[in-house]
Amino acid sequence: MFFSTSPDEHAEPAAAAPEGDGGAETVRPPWGDFSHVSDIQVLSDEGAAPAEEEAHPTDKVKRPPPEWVQRLARELRENRRLRWWAASGAVHAAVLTLASLLTIALPAPSSGEVTITSDFTPPPPPEFERREKRDVFREVEQARAEVEVDDPVNLREIERKQEDVAVGTEDDEDPAQGKPYALGDVPLGGVGAIGVAGVGGGGLSGGFGMRGSGEGRRRALARFGGSEETELAVKAALAWLARHQERDGSWNGAKYRGPMAEKVSIRVGCTGLALLAFLGAGHTHKAGRFKDNVDRAQQWLVKQQKPGGVITENLGGGTLSAIGYNHSIAGLALAEAYGMSRDPALRDPAQAAATYSTRRHQSPYAGWRYDPRKGSDTSVTGWFVMQLKSARTAGLQIDAAGFQGATTFLDKVTTAKGLVGYQKPVGTPAMTAVGTVARQFMGVRSTNPLLRKAEKFLSKKPPDWVRAARGAKGSAVGDYGFYYWYYGTLAMFQQGGPGWKAWNKAMKTMLLRRQCKTGRKDGSRNDVHGSWKPVSWADRCGGRVMTTAMGAMTLEVYYRYLPMYSQ
């Protein structure tokens, strides 16, 4: 059994049943108030009796509500808030009962387990298309690089070539070490010294290239186009020079088919060239199989140095003395000798020679020529630039005004097409090669428009023995002998790319084919094994000593100086 109540106290009471009916009172709606206790009707289990049904003698006697119900009804009538609390309590009781039933009905989840359900259904995996064409290379070498380069380096090919290039352990004693930059990267500004730079120790390092160890030369030969044959040719040339060195340590150009050397005092220059050839292959007076030859040559050059720093035999002046050539080549040799060996005994002579070049011999705001401060020409200027740059690379004190003057002069003798003249802007192959090397040594990059034009011009005139011989007979084609080949090879090597590859191929073929490979090896005048004979009119200046020294330096190009484009 239950009872119903309503918190609405403003509802109108229902009309009372007519007197005399004697039936049960009409049940009020659930929202009726409790005005009278009689409003609460006790219902039977079967439900409420009909309101209009007459009483029957057999009906159960109606009992009054229990006392607690009556008290509750009175409280509800007197206290309005209590009505709301009662209703709220009933609602909360129902909610709690329902929650309890749900808790009992649902199984408790397992400890440590979290169940997540979702309506998401993952898509099926894509089907493999067996007929799809795939870009798969059979070998790694077949893959093309994303960025094409002009001169790619195949490391595997280098490794294979290194095993084939024989350099010789006798040349690998105590190699000097150096700084990791090319000659074109050495700063030129100001008066001062840069860090010590010598021969690279087996890697792409050193202002003087990779001369100092067999490993360094092997790597350079493989990377830049040398070979076992070129190294054998260098060794044969150095052996010839060693056999024909004078007892005092010098080399006499006039003695070996150098008719012009009989008139021009160029023994200092020839000795400097021969010394440069030995240094170019990594030999110093401290290390290498030719260290005795190097030591005697250095001592002789130092003895020829005059007060003020100039290195020459004859101070008479003029073309017969050729002071400009003699001093600059000898100064270049002493600078490299000091830079490679770090011998303190060579520092002062090399420094004095460099100081003389800028303070006493160079023409104001220009270049150099035969005599001190008497004009400029490209040929002599090129040797002085190389001397100063090697001296600065070796850590000596160099006045940057020397390079500034050289740049000013070269600009005056260079045409718009990049060709360089001797004293005027009338380009020739040999002077264009010299001017290009001078600019490269002073830091001008290979991408410079003038150097690009010069490279294009030189590439059309590769080394050619027959052409050089025609020039020696008075042809107007100019000089194309060892002087041109040496400077042209340096210039094209520093430029790199396809132009260098083509030039290198022509140069190697010609020099290897034309080198003397037969005859005695006794140091006599008839001993020509390993040398090159003079071919052009310029070659006659220094004879076989000059051509053999410059031929060796030309074939040493792969490791003599680090190329700028490899940085």
For residues 445 and 19, give the distance between their C-alpha atoms in angstroms, rounded to a whole number. Answer: 129
Q: For residue 414, give the amino acid letter.
A: T
pLDDT of residue 42: 38
- Provide the β-strand partners of residue 44: 47
Q: Is the CB of residue 534 less than 8 Å from the CB of residue 550?
A: no
| pLDDT at position 216 | 83
Q: CA-CA distance, 296 to 567, in Å (whole number)?
A: 36
pLDDT for the residue 131: 52
| Whole-number Å distance between alpha carbons of 373 and 363 | 4
Q: Alpha-carbon distance 128 to 147, whole Å?
A: 33
Check residue 482 and give its pLDDT.
Answer: 96
How far is 555 from 277, CA to CA, in rounded Å? 10
- Which amino acid makes up residue 264? V
pLDDT of residue 104: 59
CB 481 within 8 A of CB 538: yes
C-alpha triplet 222, 227, 232: angle, nearest 5°: 140
Q: What is the pLDDT of residue 16?
A: 42
288 CB contacts (<8 Å, ≥6 apart)? 170, 171, 173, 278, 281, 282, 294
> What single-letter amino acid sits at 75?
E
What residue ranges in 278-369 does DSSP mark as E strands? Answer: none
Backbone angles phi, psi at 44, to 5 degrees: -85, 170
Q: How far apart are CA 329 and CA 313, in angstroms?
A: 13
Q: Are 401 and 367 in contact (CB under 8 A)?
A: no
Residues sharing a CB contact under 8 Å with residue 513, sequence separation 6 or more, in sequence order? none
Three-state secondary-structure class, residue 398: strand
Task: Give the pLDDT confidence score for residue 130 in this predicted structure.
Answer: 52
Specify whether the CB–CB gap between 373 and 340 falls below 8 A.
no
- In order along the chain (567 residues), what is the average pLDDT of each group of 10 residues? 40 41 42 42 41 46 71 68 69 75 58 57 60 43 44 44 43 40 48 29 47 81 95 98 97 80 79 98 94 98 97 79 93 96 97 98 97 96 97 95 97 97 95 97 94 97 92 61 97 96 98 96 95 90 94 96 68
pLDDT computed for residue 96 by the predictor: 78
Residues 183 and 441: beta-carbon distance below 8 Å? yes
Beta strands in 140-185 (DSSP E): none
Please give the Cα distance from 467 to 460 (Å, whole number). Answer: 13
Quick check: pTM over 0.85? no
Q: Which domains does the chain have, with CATH numbers?
A: 1-12+26-44+64-87 (no CATH), 177-566 (1.50.10.20)
Give the separation between CA 508 and CA 231, rounded to whole angstroms. Answer: 11
Residue with tokens 């010098």: 250
Residue identified by tokens 């099926």 is 124
Contact 430, 480 (CB under 8 A): yes
**Alpha-carbon gap, residue 438 to 378, rounded angstroms:** 9
CA distance 468 to 316: 32
3-state helix, strand, coil in the chain (%, to 5): 50, 0, 50
Which residues 6+ apart lie within 8 Å of 119 measured at CB?
Answer: none
- Which residues have CB under 8 Å from 340's CB, separation 6+? 176, 198, 199, 208, 211, 212, 279, 284
